[in-house]
Amino acid sequence: MTTTPAADTFKEERWQAILAELGAQGRLRVGVLAAHLSVSEATVRRDLEAMQALGLLQRTHGGAVLPRSTTLEVSFDESQTQALREKQAIGRRAAALVHEGQSLIIESGSTTLELARWLVEAPRLTVLTNSLAIARELAVNPEHEIMVLGGTLRRQSASLVGPWVAEILRNVRVDVAFLGVNGLSADFGLSAPNPFTAESRKAMIAAARTRVALADHSKLGAETLYHVAPLDALDTLVTDAGAADPQLAPLRDAGVEVLVAEG
């Protein structure tokens, strides 16, 4: 059937409304859009699929988000304000995995920083980190032994990365590594936006008996530029309640324990 000019005009108006709402909210649900636009959910799904093909947005289970670039890396200050409630819940849930006297690697990141804040009062921990912010948070407890992993300062992520980190960790074995996540997908596994972060994260995985990734739901299914490790390199994922079953299924199939943080 041939599309009429009037139908094309109405479609363009819908697309403009979708992009405006997405720009304001950052994430949209199909049902909410259908009600807002007074069209069927099937029409909204077709619109979102067509818009994704043009690179205007990225489809998710049940909706859409702003398009994600494989090279995009937001600043540390900006990342601290994104999905803050989810990151706080993830940090609290991950802190419950830590026991007195353990040795930990805590990678730099806004979600791992929330974990560190929950560990300030924990007794007798040895913590290796490539984050000055995490070291500063934990240093207030005199029972914590803090070791900062030296490396090249990446101002974008407020982290110390690169070959020096990997060299130090080559002779280290810790109980648990808590890893930041830029992307985690079934096809590409754990990924990072630059080679320096990728190299450091690989070394952290190799240095730990147990590997735990902390990621809010927006990172699940995403792929950034540099491959770090397959899904089965992880033992546990801690994520938030916004994660959908299709996002979590590949991780569970790879044998990864999935812990969902509520609240």
The pLDDT profile of the chain, 263 residues, written as one tens digit per residue, is 333 334 554 787 888 788 877 766 667 889 999 998 999 999 999 988 888 776 677 787 788 876 655 444 554 445 544 568 899 999 999 999 999 999 999 999 999 999 999 999 999 999 999 999 999 999 999 999 999 998 878 776 677 887 888 899 999 999 999 999 999 988 899 999 888 889 999 999 999 999 999 999 989 988 888 999 999 999 999 999 988 888 899 999 999 999 999 87
Whole-number pLDDT of residue 56: 73
Cβ proximity of 131 and 109 under 8 Å: yes
C-alpha 259/C-alpha 213 separation (Å) is 10
Q: Are residues 29 and 140 in the same domain?
A: no
Q: Are residues 113 and 52 in the same domain?
A: no
Q: Are residues 100 and 222 in the same domain?
A: yes
Whole-number pLDDT of residue 144: 97
Q: Are residues 114 and 11 in the same domain?
A: no
How many helices (H) and strands (E) the chain has is answered by 10, 15
For position 57, which CATH number holds?
Answer: 1.10.10.10
Q: Are residues 112 and 32 in the same domain?
A: no
Domain count of the chain? 2
Where does a domain end: 18, 38, 65?
65
Q: Is residue 71 part of a domain?
A: no
Q: What is the pTM of this model?
A: 0.71
Where does a domain end: 65, 86, 115?
65
Whole-number pLDDT of residue 54: 67
Q: Is residue 70 part of a domain?
A: no
Q: Is residue 119 part of a domain?
A: yes
Q: Are residues 59 and 83 in the same domain?
A: no
Q: Are residues 185 and 134 in the same domain?
A: yes
Q: Is residue 83 part of a domain?
A: yes
Q: Is residue 16 part of a domain?
A: yes
Whole-number pLDDT of residue 24: 65
Q: Is residue 153 part of a domain?
A: yes
Q: Are residues 161 and 206 in the same domain?
A: yes
Q: Are residues 85 and 187 in the same domain?
A: yes
C-alpha 246/C-alpha 220 separation (Å) is 10
Q: Are residues 49 and 157 in the same domain?
A: no
For position 257, which CATH number holds?
Answer: 3.40.50.1360
Q: Are residues 54 and 165 in the same domain?
A: no
Q: Are residues 38 and 83 in the same domain?
A: no
Where does a domain end: 43, 65, 87?
65
Domain, as residue range, for 141: 76-261
The DSSP result for 218-234, as a single string, is: GGBT---SEEEE-GGG-
Whole-number pLDDT of residue 75: 47
Region label for 97, one of left (φ > 0), alpha (ψ between -120 and 50) or beta (otherwise): alpha
